[in-house]
Amino acid sequence: MDTTTPLLTLDRLSVSVPERERIGGGVGDLTLVEELSLQIRPGERVALVGESGSGKSMTARSILRLDPHLRLAGSIRWKDQELVGAPERRLRRVRGREISMIFQDPMTALNPVLTIGEQVAEPLTVRGMPKRKAHAKAVEMLDRLGVPKAKERMRAYPGQFSGGMRQRVVMAAALVAQPDLLIADEPTTALDVRVQEQVLDLLEEQSREMNLAVLFITHDLGIVAGLAHRVAVMLRGCLVEERTVDDLFTCPEHPYTRGLIGSVPRLDADPDVRLKTVADYMSTEGATTHA
């Protein structure tokens, strides 16, 4: 058991849409995440796995309170401060400096009319670092993330980059201020397999070298196998299972987890063996799925 003090502790965190904010009406608050507890220690890589609508992204977004209209209950403890109910200016000090976040689509995450350099250096300049110094740090970060000719490409625009290169730029902007935690929300879903592999390798490497904790949100259990230390599985707003990555893959306890692992076609599987669906796993074990 790891005894280091956790960086982040979610304690019975609930996220809901208040009745008056519900799109299309509906009675009562709509619960998106229900009493979720999770801890992340320095340098630890935790994967939060679930399907669309499971609440994995809402959990991640709520840590930084990116959706101010949502109601949070329970506690989000970051180092020695409580983020639930904290004033906006305190969150602003955390966002991008101590905790940064990257998203699925590198095409829309970057501003098309600002240069790469301006965007990667922004987390530093916005906090008052002199331009020249911030610029140098941005070049260094792009270089670390394998962007060729980083110095020259600082003047380029996002449109001149491929999807994989843009995701590296997004990562550089997220890591340039040396945060303690990176929240990565499906960062490779829009990428080709070979580019995905490169981005995941970089993420793992940076995490090790910078002692960076990572909360990795994904629907794909396959890609977390080699990346995460721990995996938490969400189903309909609730955490159904949380284990070390080795335990989760060798002896998954919840039928839903077993379904997620077992229903994915594998390169090393016999194609004549019929693929079992998640519903098969759930129904044979007496649980139900929304699918």
Partner 1 sequence: MPEPLLKVDGLQKRFGRGKNAYQALTDVSFEVGQGEIVGLVGESGSGKSTIIRCLVGLEKEDAGTISYDGIDPVSASKADLRRYRREVQMVFQDPYSSLDPRMTVQEILEEPMLVIGGFSPADRRARIHELIDMVGLLPEHLTRHPRHFSGGQRQRIAIVRSLVVDPRVLLCDEPVSALDVSVQAQVLNLIKDMQRRLDLTVLFVSHDLAVVKYLCTRLVVLDKGVIAETGDVPAIYDAPQDPYTRALMEAVPVPDPVLERARRARRLEAAR
β-bridge partners, 49: 218, 233
The DSSP secondary-structure symbol of 95 reads B
Q: From the CB of 217, what's the least distance to partner 1, in Å?
A: 14
Structure tokens at 100: 């940064």
140 binds partner 1 (CB under 8 A): no
Q: How far is CA 56 from CA 19, 50, 141, in A?
A: 21, 6, 29
Of these, 197, 236, 240, 283, which contacts partner 1 (CB under 8 A)?
197
Using CB under 8 A as the binding rule, the residues of this chain from 17 to 36 that contact partner 1 are: none
Q: Judged by CB, which is closer to partner 1: 86, or 279? A: 279
Q: Judged by CB, which is closer to partner 1: 113, or 193? A: 193
- Relative orientation angle of helices 163-175 and 131-144, to the nearest 10 degrees: 130
The residue range among 63-71, 84-92, 168-176, 223-231 that interacts with partner 1, by the rule CB under 8 A, is: 223-231
The residue range among 4-12, 65-73, 149-157, 268-276 that interacts with partner 1, by the rule CB under 8 A, is: 268-276
71-78 and 81-82 as β-strands: parallel, antiparallel, unpaired?
A: antiparallel
Of these, 227, 232, 234, 239, which contacts partner 1 (CB under 8 A)?
227
Contact between 100 and 184 (Cβ < 8 Å): no
CB atoms within 10 A of CB 197: 14
246 binds partner 1 (CB under 8 A): yes
Structure tokens at 148: 């060729």
52 binds partner 1 (CB under 8 A): yes
Contact between 212 and 175 (Cβ < 8 Å): yes
163 binds partner 1 (CB under 8 A): yes
Structure tokens at 31: 């619960």
β-bridge partners, 213: 181
Of these, 138, 192, 206, 253, which contacts partner 1 (CB under 8 A)?
192
277 binds partner 1 (CB under 8 A): yes
- Residues contributing to the site for partner 1 (CB under 8 A): 51-52, 163, 192-194, 196-197, 200-201, 204-205, 219-223, 225-227, 245-246, 249, 259-261, 263-269, 271, 274-279, 289-291
